Amino acid sequence: MDDATGMPATAKVVVRGLVKEYDDFQRGKVRAVDGLTFEAHAGEIMGLLGPNGAGKTTALRILSTLLHPTDGVALVNGFDCQQQSELVRRQIGFISANTAVYDRMTAYEFVEYFGKLHGMGGVELTRRIDKLFDQLEMQSMRDTLGAKMSTGMKQRASIARALIHDPPVLIFDEATNGLDVLAARAVLDTVSHLREQGKCLIFSTHIMREVERLCDRVAVMHRGRILTQGSIEELRGQHEEQDLEELFFQLIREAEASCEAPNGEAAQA
Ligand SMILES: Nc1ncnc2c1ncn2[C@@H]1O[C@H](COP(=O)(O)OP(=O)(O)OP(=O)(O)O)[C@@H](O)[C@H]1O
């Protein structure tokens, strides 16, 4: 155990009772995240699997300090996402499907720019960029301007940007959305390599195959709550269903049914 936080020493991300409510102009109060509790460890890929609107992005934006929670706690590497946002930002890299690159910067300039924003420079930065460009097979696109990049190239540049400061925690939010098969595959391979390097990865997706292929553990989310979590094998055993897709639908159907219970009691379950 880590003395300061009371969490296992390998737990890089700790989320306890996290709640986020939005004030929506049309819908009133929207509880996008409703009591989320999970952990993610060094050297593992923790999947967040859920349909659109399940609250994955909201939870990940809280972890990356872009949003404040309404209640609960989120810690990254022991730092509180709300109280110590500067420190948390140094611990994470965030990759989503629509991270923009700059049209007028080359891939090299783009990654260098973010390295400088993280306080890096000189030989340290040059070496780091070279290493990343080798790892991500980006040497041939070093001088390609953002405006000329394919979607897959843009995603690689975004990943390099997120990795430049070598953070221990990487957050992938639906990062393969809109990519062709080859580009998506490259992203998944990168995620695997990062796990081998001992990084802690949080990988949100609605694609079952990605979870089966990659994730060490998964939390199935629906309407801001976690319906179940564990390793894929544990989930299969607990729910007596081998087919992950079927298991997922079964869980969602049951959750929907309990939300629709006439006296509302089941909705609290
Ligand atoms: N800024 C906002 N204001 C009001 N409601 C919001 C806001 N952002 C998200 N929501 C609502 O919160 C709920 C969860 O959305 P969120 O984007 O976190 O889910 P998600 O699982 O990431 O889904 P998606 O894959 O569609 O992004 C949805 O009902 C969404 O409409």
DSSP state of 97: T
Centre of ligand 1 to C-alpha 196, Å, is: 32
Quick check: is 225 in a domain?
A: yes
Domain count, the chain: 1
38 closest CA partner among 11, 68, 71, 64: 11
125: its two tokens: 């930065």
Quick check: is 248 in a domain?
A: yes
Quick check: is 5 in a domain?
A: no
d(CA 162, CA 194): 12
Quick check: is 264 in a domain?
A: no
Centre of ligand 1 to C-alpha 233, Å, is: 29
Quick check: is 6 in a domain?
A: no
217: its two tokens: 């553990």
Is residue 134 lining ligand 1, measured as CB closer than 6 Å?
A: no
State how beta strands 45-49 and 71-76 pair.
Answer: unpaired
pLDDT one-digit tens code per residue, 142-188: 999 999 999 889 999 999 999 999 999 999 999 998 888 888 998 99
Quick check: is 230 in a domain?
A: yes
Nearest ligand 1 atom to the CA of 33 is: 14
Is residue 26 lining ligand 1, measured as CB closer than 6 Å?
A: no
Quick check: is 126 in a domain?
A: yes
pLDDT one-digit tens code per residue, 203-245: 999 898 899 999 999 999 999 999 999 999 999 888 888 888 8
Nearest ligand 1 atom to the CA of 58 is: 18
Q: The domain spanning residue 218 has which CATH number?
A: 3.40.50.300
Quick check: is 263 in a domain?
A: no
Range of the domain at 76: 11-258
Q: Which residue CA neighbors atom 12 of ligand 1 most closely?
A: 32
ipTM for the predicted complex comes to 0.95
